[in-house]
Structure 1
Amino acid sequence: MLFCGINPGLLTAATGHHFARPGNRFWPVLHLSGFTPRLLRPDEQRELLSYGLGITNVVARPTARADELTAEEYAEGGRLLTGKVERLRPGWLAVVGVTAYRAAFADRTARVGPQERTIGDTRVWVLPNPSGLNAHWTAATMAEEFARLREAADLPGHGGSVSVTIPSS
């Protein structure tokens, strides 16, 4: 499984750790959904490999907010991501953020969930954006969607705990 964020935020760029901003719900949701046996910190991202998970971004340029990215950056990011997936050949590509997926793959009708598109043999699933700015999804409802993906990918569950506290920004 290759998780794909939108682009590095400023703290992620400074630390080199994905989803590093306090208040981002990626790490808690990953645990709540059973992908990891415990809540990982961003600086423990290399542990994802031991669970058969990887992490990357659609666009490499750091910004304070994803809405600072251009349509051209998303399109180029989609092309580069396709090449990366063709080389690495994960079973699944999980794009974290429906707006990013739509822009990167020119698919205006995409919704959260499994996509018809494949990249070679790699299946694609769009997940909700775990940014604290995404108020449409709670940690619990995001964890349900992440768990749907984990189950569809036939990955073992690690018994996430619903008592995880999400730090505020």
Structure 2
Amino acid sequence: MSQSRVQPMQAPYAEDIQAAFDSIMPPGVPPLKLFRSLAHNPRVLRRMLAGGLLDRGSIGLRERELLILRATARCGAEYEWGVHVAAFNGKAGFSQAQLADTCAAQPDAGLWTASELTLLALADSLHASADVDDALWLRLSEHFRPEQLIECLLLVGLYHAVSFVANGLRVEHEPGAPRFPA
């Protein structure tokens, strides 16, 4: 990826921007480059942070992160994929083989549970066609309730949008965030 198209803002930040960063970042952790880049448009930054789904939802953290990793990998958003691996894999507990598999053209069924395979298929289906066929929906429904499936759909769509922004702005990688496997 080439150089960042919009340089991330540097501290000190305007009061409203600092408040937005404080709402999303753990204490003492500097704001991510993506957030600092979006801060050039404070309204967009605030709306994106308000629309996020990183809170406690109807699906588990591991399921959420699996959808995010697959969606960002399918979009080629190495920045966002790496940020999520760095920030959440300690709790999500994916093995190195599983992390690599989120970037594979075809997931290895031997690495995943049946419900996780349906989530990977969901992310792939939405990426390929912006839809979910009836057979996949039926498989998903065996593992997830309607409110969970709504959250899953929105997560994949939201992280397509985040991927578009990270890729379009050419956001530079965060220190310590892993890259896609070779």
**What TM-score results when the alignment is normalised by the length of structure 1?**
0.31
More strand by share: 1
More helix by share: 2
Larger Rg belongs to: 2
**What TM-score results when the alignment is normalised by the length of structure 2?**
0.30
